[in-house]
Structure 1
Amino acid sequence: MAWVYLILAGALEVVGVTGMNKVAKNKNLQAYMILLIGFIFSFSFLGLAMKTLPAGTAYAVWTGIGTVGGTVVGMFFYGEAKDWRRLLFIGMILVAVIGLKTTT
């Protein structure tokens, strides 16, 4: 169950990062709510996952999911570059996260 919590935490971190982008562009209540709700629930699920998983693994996977998710959201919804090098490094992050999962 800890891995489910960790995946949810990572997904909600992406929601929080999306909220940060919205706040930077338009400082309204909805943008701040997306940011706050995303990060509050992300940290909550990360805490639940860390009750079972090693802290280093949980944190690395959480940040990996957030990094990849934030980059993909930026590429598809905010017009950020879809350069092959960005995709290569996203793939490297995914390989590292899978490696941590298989060794824990």
Structure 2
Amino acid sequence: MAWVLLVIAGLLEMCWAVGLKYTEGFTRPLPTVLTVLAIIASMVLLALAARSLPIGTAYAVWVGIGALGAAVLGIFLFNEPVTPARVFFLALLLTAIIGLKLTSGVQS
């Protein structure tokens, strides 16, 4: 269950990271409220997952999911550049996330 919570926390991190763009410096009320709620929910789920997962693994996976997701969404939502090098390093990030899960020694 900890891994499920951690993945959801990572997806929420991705949401709030992208949400920051929509807040326009916290000047737009609705995007600001939604972003703050996503931050809180993401942190709470990370804390719950960290009860049974090693903190280094949990934090790295949480950040990795958020960073990977934000980068991919940036490509689709904000027309950020897609280069072979960028795709390669995003694939490495995904590989690292999967590797941390597989080597954590903690079952689903």
Does the TM-score normalized on the shorter chain lie above 0.5?
yes
Q: Is the 8 A contact 2:15 2:35 kept in 1?
A: yes
Cα offset for 1:38? 1.0
The corresponding residue for 2:27 is: 27
Matched to 2:77, the amino acid is F
Partner of 2:65: 65
Conservation of the 8 A alpha-carbon contact between 2:9 and 2:46: yes
Q: Which position in structure 1 is the counterpart of 2:83?
A: 83
* Residue 25 to residue 78, structure 1, CA distance change in 2 (3 Å): farther
8 Å CA contact 2:17–2:70 kept in 1: the answer is yes
* TM-score, normalised relative to structure 2: 0.92
Q: How many equivalent residue pairs?
A: 104
Moved more, 25-34 or 45-54: 25-34
Give the helix-richer structure, 1 or 2. Answer: 1
Cα drift, residue 25 of structure 1:
6.8
Q: Could you tell me which runs of 5 or more consecutive residues in structure 1 were left unpaired when the two chains were aligned.
A: none
Residues 21-52 of structure 1, C-alpha deviations (whole Å, 9 max, x = no match): 11127821111012101111000100010000
How far apart are the structure 1 equivalents of 2:18 and 2:46? 18
**Structure 1 residue identity aligned to 2:102:** T
- Structure 2: gaps of 5 or more residues: none
Identity of aligned residues (%): 39
CA distance in 2, matches of 1:86, 1:24: 26
Contact 2:26 2:32 in 1 (8 A): no
